[in-house]
Structure 1
Amino acid sequence: MKAPAHIAPAALLALCLLSGCKGCKEESASPGASPPDGNAQTHRSGVKVPLPEGWSAQVAPDDSLQAGPPGRPVLRVDLRRGQGEQLPTVEKLVEQVREGSKNFEISLDQEEQKESYSLLRVTLAPKLPDGGAGLQSPALFGARRVGSDLFLCATLPGASAEDVRLATEACRDIDVQAQPR
């Protein structure tokens, strides 16, 4: 089955803005379902991504962590070890989204910035050859600093407005637990 024309560019945009990091597999959550408390975490690094009830997480072939309802990943998280000082501002996220989406109409829906995170919710619609715009899709682009590490978040194509809202909450609350002694 071929994906609709607006899905491929949206996927490319998400991947361009949040390119996968090699070696994240052992730094992200372990493959498989999240624990019953709804938190995906790895035992080696203590990374904790609080997931909505019913969501699970797994490591994707590109070494990103992908989470969502069963069989439908909607949130992608990439870990950048030691890059926490490079936390982008909301303005930088807007600039990156605009640069990477020249074939889309963009509506900025919500901007949120704190000392440890920057979150941008947008609505994207592909520009059509006749000058119109295609089907609108909500999206999240975000970054969270935890200690010296940087976590990059983005929703995947096909995410609903509710998925984007839940993904925003999950990205905002990514944490690292102290290792047991």
Structure 2
Amino acid sequence: MRQRAHIAPALVLALSLLSGCKGCKDEGADSGALSPDGAAQTPRSGVKVPLPDGWSAQVAPDDSFQAGPPGRPVLRVDLRRGQGEQLPTVDALAERVREESKNFEVSLDQEESKDTYSLLRVTMAPKLADGGIGLQAPALFGARRVGNDLFLCATLPGASPEDVRLATEACREIEVQSSQSK
């Protein structure tokens, strides 16, 4: 049960990294409807997040897009309309993770960046009050620019290494469909 005690701090970390601008009203994905090809789409925005086989999507009460195996969301995506130019570099993303995770031991496992995305896979373990380190857990923090919009991705606590790998692929491939291809 020791791992459960550290789920809340990990979730707070993920949400703080995704928060971007403090006090802003976020515009999230509008719907978690699946297209015939199994990708989650948001009808009003035309956003397409390619999901692995067996994953489903939903819009959470806070308007974030969440996806994962049935009954277990592992990927959270937040949309920042008009903030595409604020795509962080992978170095800036890594620095933010370190700053926001003072209560965690963080090891950078993989950094990947291109003109349209920055992805950071890490292993995190909570620092315990007795000076020890808690259970390690993998995580993804990423950002993807599509047109003028910025999509912020993070895995949720409890994601397995395979979940993190699949979430990374989904974040990397987020796209906005033109009105002609809908």
Q: Tell me if TM exceeds 0.5.
A: yes
Q: How does 1:103-118 map to 2 (within 5 A)?
A: 103-118=103-118
Partners in 1 of 2:71 and 2:36 — Cα distance? 17
**Where in structure 1 do 4 or more consecutive aligned residues deviate above 2 Å?**
19-25, 33-36
Letter in 1 for 2:153: C
- Bigger proportion of residues as helix: 2
Q: How many residues align?
A: 178
Q: How does 1:102-141 map to 2 (within 5 A)?
A: 102-141=102-141
| Runs (5+) with no aligned partner, structure 1 | none
Match of 2:168 in 1: 168
Match of 1:153 in 2: 153
The alignment-based identity, stated in percent, is: 78
Letter in 2 for 1:131: G
> Which stretch of structure 1 is more off in the superposition, 1-10 or 108-117?
1-10
Partners in 2 of 1:3 and 1:135 — Cα distance? 6
Deviation at 1:2, TM superposition (A): 10
Match of 1:24 in 2: 27
CA displacement 1:116-146 (0-9 Å, x = unmatched)? 0000000000001121100000000000000
Letter in 2 for 1:143: A
8 Å contact 1:64–1:77 — kept in the other structure?
Answer: yes
| Runs (5+) with no aligned partner, structure 2 | none
Match of 2:59 in 1: 59
- What do you get for the CA RMSD once the two structures are aligned? 2.0
Partners in 2 of 1:2 and 1:63 — Cα distance? 30
Match of 1:77 in 2: 77
Letter in 2 for 1:90: V
SS of structure 1 residue aligned to 2:34? coil
